[in-house]
């Protein structure tokens, strides 16, 4: 039976492990559930998937909806592609494993990214040279204002770097219920980004496959990113900033080892390098800190609160701006 619970502990619903609560909390498994649980638009609402990209600074004074819409199925195919639809409540990595098991290529570089399928388009998740926008065919989203399902193509999602229409003009207006991904029958291997080729060599891989690429990505991620089940974190806390080529050349004269690569709008700089080179890597204050293996990851060692993490991120932003004249933007959503 669908019902709203009161004063529910959200510690297990956010990967930072923040000890906060929701005034009201309910789980939905279908669009019909959403319609029944729908509340007036003047109420605070929050939809949670895996809670892996959120920092709670306070208790949530409103209605929290936990997306548990499940199911993965092939809905179409043609000569070159298969189209797989997944419920927004599925875990993203489980979806990746499903695709690999069926030899469908395209998402293997996105292995082990935490969070849910429904949250993936909001953030336009990406890793190792692949972004969700490269594989998304369409999605279905429930609109609070008319209680109807609306379809969005990849173009209509207006994807950007860790960005989409759902983080901007449509923020808070929709719940992503299903996502349909377009996958290759004949894999197009992407191994040039990051340390994938070195890891494959280390693994002794002779015959390249989507399984071996996924395993290489998993190995790399596990070697430098903490498991949220052991240390509270939300993965990369900051976006990699983009600067002009002119600014990059000036910085390169002073910092020859600065890490950057060319993109359409300029040079994208590794935020982790900037943070490490302002002395923050491995920093710890009380229960909040910067991970010793990856400076891009802020961590809760046990009993930090959201404000502890937020204030640490503020100090990092100020110090990077002061030293490099580069502004760091948070990737994590602050609640």
Extract the tokens encoding 332: 């994590």
Residue among 66, 212, 236, 313 flagged as catalytic: 236
Residue among 66, 90, 162, 221 flagged as catalytic: 162
SS3 state at 183: strand
Q: Could you give the CA distance from residue 305 to residue 206 in angstroms, rounded to a whole number? A: 47
Cα 111–Cα 112–Cα 114 angle in degrees, nearest 5: 125
The residue ranges of DSSP E strands in the chain, in sequence order, are: 5-9, 21-28, 45-48, 54-55, 60-67, 72-77, 81-87, 126-127, 130-131, 136-143, 148-153, 174-184, 232-236, 242-243, 260-263, 266-269, 284-285, 288-290, 297-300, 333-334
Alpha carbon distance, N-terminus to C-terminus of the chain: 29
Mark whether 331 is an active-site residue.
Answer: yes
Residue among 90, 108, 199, 331 flagged as catalytic: 331
For residue 213, what are the CA distances in angstroms to 92, 100, 194, 227? 17, 10, 12, 20
Q: Could you give the CA distance from residue 149 to residue 142 in angstroms, rounded to a whole number? A: 4
Extract the tokens encoding 9: 């502990």
Mark whether 153 is an active-site residue.
Answer: no
Mark whether 236 is an active-site residue.
Answer: yes
Which residues belong to the active site?
162, 236, 331
């Amino acid at each position: 039976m669908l019902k709203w619970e009161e004063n529910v502990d959200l510690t297990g619903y956010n990967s930072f492990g923040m000890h906060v609560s929701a005034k009201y909390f309910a789980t939905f498994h279908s669009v019909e559930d959403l319609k029944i649980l729908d509340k007036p638009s003047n109420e605070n609402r929050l939809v949670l998937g895996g809670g892996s990209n959120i920092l709670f600074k306070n208790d949530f004074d409103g209605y929290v909806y936990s997306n548990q819409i499940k199911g993965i199925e092939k809905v179409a195919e043609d000569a070159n592609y298969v189209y797989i639809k997944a419920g927004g409540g599925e875990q993203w990595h489980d979806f990746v494993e499903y695709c690999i098991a069926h030899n469908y290529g395209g998402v293997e570089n996105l292995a082990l990214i935490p969070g849910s399928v429904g949250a993936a388009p909001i953030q336009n998740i990406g890793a190792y040279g692949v972004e969700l926008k490269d594989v998304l065919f369409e999605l279905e989203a429930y609109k609070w204002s008319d209680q109807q399902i609306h379809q969005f193509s990849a173009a209509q999602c207006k994807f950007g770097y860790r960005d989409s229409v759902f983080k901007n003009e449509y923020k808070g207006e929709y719940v992503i219920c299903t996502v349909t991904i377009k996958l290759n029958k004949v894999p197009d291997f992407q191994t040039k980004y990051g340390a994938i080729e070195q890891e494959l060599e280390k693994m002794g891989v002779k015959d390249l496959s989507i399984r071996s690429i996924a395993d290489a990505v998993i190995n790399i991620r596990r070697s430098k990113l903490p498991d949220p089940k052991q240390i509270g974190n939300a993965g990369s806390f900051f976006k990699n900033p983009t600067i002009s080529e002119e600014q990059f050349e000036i910085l390169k004269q002073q910092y020859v080892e600065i890490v950057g690569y060319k993109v359409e709008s300029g040079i994208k700089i590794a935020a982790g390098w900037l943070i490490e080179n302002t002395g923050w890597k491995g920093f710890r204050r009380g229960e909040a800190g910067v991970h010793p293996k990856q400076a891009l990851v802020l961590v809760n060692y046990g009993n930090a609160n959201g404000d502890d993490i937020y204030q640490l991120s503020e100090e990092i932003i100020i110090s990077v701006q002061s030293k490099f004249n580069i502004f760091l933007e948070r990737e994590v959503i602050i609640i």
